[in-house]
Structure 1
Amino acid sequence: MVASNGAKLYYFGIPSGYEFRSLLDDIVDVSKNTTRLPEEVRAQIRGIGDPVHIKVFVTPTCPYCPRAVRTAHQFALENPNIRADMIEALEFPELAQQYNVMAVPKVVINESTEFEGALPENVFAESVVSALS
């Protein structure tokens, strides 16, 4: 999915189960060219000048995964330097194995920072910034 500002939101695998709502919310955000991030998080994300690649591993039955995907995709909408991928771990087992996915959501930022769980937006943003250090 490509936004008018050039932001790209990627889905690797079918966004089924709980993830279907993420797809619908992304369509709405892209069409309105807006996000629901708090202003302080939005400002922090917009201030990132270096490329960032966020991978979010999910499964269709994970109730916490959509929050992680939505946060990553909203970051990408706020800053075209950020690329955010949803990766369905069951459909891409080789990637899940490569990144040692044992629980979902698993987030990998720039190959250097990893965490599991759906963090609050401000904590997720801090993780993105610290991955650039």
Structure 2
Amino acid sequence: MAMMDEETKQEVKKILDSLENEVKIVFFKENINCPSCLPAEEFLKEISSLSQKLKLEIYNKYIDEEKTAQYSPAQLPAIFIETPFSQKRVVFYGIPAGYEFVSFLEAVKTSSSGKPELEQDTFEKLKTMSSKVNIKVFVTPTCPYCPAAVVLAQRMAVASENITAEMIESNEFPGLAAKYQVEGVPKIVINDKVHLVGAQPESSFVAAVIDSSKSG
């Protein structure tokens, strides 16, 4: 079943045709206890069919053990947007549907170009990082403010090899949402310690990331 109408497909195709470099999409699933894995797979197959610059790889977390060890997907479904610029640092847990489709396309574009749109001061601050930082951004498909937080986290992940950015669809992972006390979205969690609610100005987001890097 097609998830995009013909007009949307043509618009997406134009975006994908403009990609500077090939993008590998690595998808992890399982066949029993993952109700959103099948629609996520169908979504990725549909969008990958629109451009030869998208290369989709599909793995079962519990069968393809070598690939699972290589990528270490924490949740299922898991989508890694991989290029030499982003490596394995841009991740979607859950279907990037609704407003998060914007985040998905932006992740593909930025990972392809390796040229994240960030302020120059942000690049300089990210260069000072010496330890790893994990950014989780909890979202819902109907949240119009969530893509801004997700895209900013992803751009920082492309800019710095010390940052991993994960989009987590709260409705698909209620246990995780409860663990991190997600009562509103976007909810940003940095290194499982720093909690920010709402879309953040770039300067504030970067400052929180740098502080988390220093504190470990």
Counterpart residue identity of residue 69, structure 1? V
User: Is the partner of 2:98 in helix, strand or coil?
Assistant: coil
Measure, in 1, the Cα distance between the counterparts of 2:212 and 2:111.
26
In structure 2, the residue matched to 1:107 is: 188
User: Is the partner of 1:53 in helix, strand or coil?
Assistant: strand
In structure 2, the residue matched to 1:95 is: 176
Measure, in 2, the Cα distance between the counterparts of 1:74 and 1:7.
13
The yes-or-no answer on 1:3 pairing with 2:78 is no
Q: Deviations over 1:18-42 (max 9, x none)?
A: 1101111111111111100011112
Counterpart residue identity of residue 4, structure 1? P
Match of residue 19, structure 1, among 83, 95, 100: 100
In structure 2, the residue matched to 1:43 is: 124
Match of residue 147, structure 2, among 60, 66, 70: 66
The yes-or-no answer on 1:124 pairing with 2:205 is yes
TM-score (norm 1): 0.96
Q: Deviations over 1:56-80 (max 9, x none)?
A: 0000010110000001101100111
In structure 2, the residue matched to 1:33 is: 114
Counterpart residue identity of residue 82, structure 2? V
In structure 1, the residue matched to 2:167 is: 86
Structure 2 gap ranges (5+): 1-80
Structure 1 gap ranges (5+): none
Larger-Rg structure? 2
The count of aligned residue pairs is 133
- Cα RMSD between the aligned structures? 1.0
TM-score (norm 2): 0.60
Deviates more, 1:50-59 or 1:2-11: 2-11
Q: Which structure carries more relative contact order (alpha carbon 8 Å, separation 6+)? A: 1
Question: CA shift at 1:16, angstroms?
Answer: 0.6
CA contact (8 A) 1:68 1:119 kept: yes
Q: Which stretches of structure 1, 4 residues or longer, exceed 3 Å deviation after superposition?
A: none
Aligned-residue sequence identity (percent) comes to: 41
Counterpart residue identity of residue 109, structure 1? I
